[in-house]
Amino acid sequence: MSGPFADLGRILMVGCGNMGGAMLRRWLDQGLDPAQVTVISPSGRAVPGGVAVINAYDPAAVGTVSTLLLAMKPQQLSAVHAAGLASVRAELLVSILAGVDSATLSSLWPGATVIRAMPNLPVAIGKGVVALHSPAEIDDRARRVAAWMQPLGLVEWIESEGLFDLVTALAGSGPSFTYRFIEALAAAGTALGLPSDQSARLATATVEGAGLLAAEAAETPAVLADQVASPGGSTRAGLNVLDNDAALVSLLTRTLQASENRNREMAAAARA
Ligand SMILES: NC(=O)C1=CN([C@@H]2O[C@H](COP(=O)(O)OP(=O)(O)OC[C@H]3O[C@@H](n4cnc5c(N)ncnc54)[C@H](O)[C@@H]3O)[C@@H](O)[C@H]2O)C=CC1
Ligand SMILES: O=C(O)[C@@H]1CCC=N1
């Protein structure tokens, strides 16, 4: 096999819910051989086709693992480790757990190369973000992880682990905040008189188009905003509400701060 999935060897994926499932589906769409993966999923929730699923770790069923991918909740880390996974000697340990720091992961799986990955939900369509952090120098193993994540969307290395909780808030949680914005735009339209289904369609398509243009255009979002807002026109009247006392920036700063703080709390709980 060649491409982004070469050299990963056997992958053991722990948990395959909303986020892990989205990643796995995209990888399979992009050519990952389902026979390369085993999923541990006590919930019994279906995983993408052809991938072996087991309820609990069974060394005989799994065989030699090269890559261990942690995709359950941070709160499940110690239970997962205690339930036999401590004995897995993978060369690569990739964790998408919010908060949980690389020192905690290294202490649980000494000897493995630890990489933290923070994906977001649009990886399902190859338009996600995957932030990566390596506590050690970025070597060939780390580059292998980056290549593996490439089919999911934009891959960015975050040098300082101290910024990872903030990156998690901005990019990992960001789609959720954006969906709230779409809902709020639609709800505002409805409150002012539009039929709710029509307002929802208009809000979703507007955010889709604006996002795609922002991603493709040479201009910054600030310039694009000005291109919509004619001087003295109606958009400017609306922007004045968002910009007054930096209302939107202030709201989003508090939003990211709350998420970042919660990531820190989850990291502390995982260290305990
Ligand atoms: N949902 C999102 O958009 C993002 C989530 N994450 C991270 O991804 C991880 C998973 O989150 P979601 O997929 O949203 O949660 P989820 O609840 O949808 O999935 C968690 C999965 O773990 C499984 N699980 C529970 N206990 C287990 C155990 N002992 N052994 C193996 N599997 C077990 C559950 O059956 C479930 O399938 C979390 O650590 C979260 O911080 C990171 C970025 C974005
Ligand atoms: O809500 C959470 O804890 C995770 C972190 C990023 C997205 N979901």
Strand pairing of 128-133 and 113-119? antiparallel
CB 117 within 8 A of CB 149: yes
Task: Judge if the beta carbon of residue 41 lies within 6 A of ligand 2.
Answer: no
CB 95 within 8 A of CB 119: no
Chain-centre distance of CA 20, in angstroms? Answer: 9
Q: Which residues are annotated as a binding site for NADP(+)?
A: 71-74
Pocket test for ligand 2, best of 168, 170, 177, 256 (most atoms within 8 A of CB): 168
CB 145 within 8 A of CB 117: yes
266 Cα nearest atom in ligand 1? 41
What was the pLDDT predicted at 2? 63
Beta strands in the chain (DSSP E): 11-14, 37-40, 52-54, 67-70, 92-95, 113-119, 128-133, 153-157
Q: Which residues are annotated as a binding site?
A: 71-74
Spatial CB neighbours of 62, under 8 Å, sequence gap ≥ 6:
10, 12, 38, 54
Residue 182 gets the label, from left (phi > 0), alpha (psi -120 to 50) or beta, of: alpha
Closest CA to 23 of 157, 147, 149: 149
Ligand nearest, relative to CA of residue 82: 1
The full set of domains in the chain, from first to last, is: 3-164 (3.40.50.720), 174-264 (1.10.3730.10)
Q: How far is the CA of 233 from the centre of ligand 2 (A)?
A: 39
What was the pLDDT predicted at 226? 97
Per-residue pLDDT of the chain (272 residues; tens, 9 = 90+): 568 887 899 999 999 999 999 999 999 999 999 999 999 999 877 788 889 999 999 999 899 999 999 999 999 999 999 999 999 999 999 999 999 999 999 999 999 999 999 999 999 999 999 999 999 999 999 999 999 999 999 999 999 999 999 999 999 999 999 999 999 999 999 999 999 999 999 999 999 999 999 999 999 999 999 999 999 999 999 999 999 999 999 999 999 999 999 999 999 999 98
Closest CA to 155 of 134, 125, 122, 128: 128
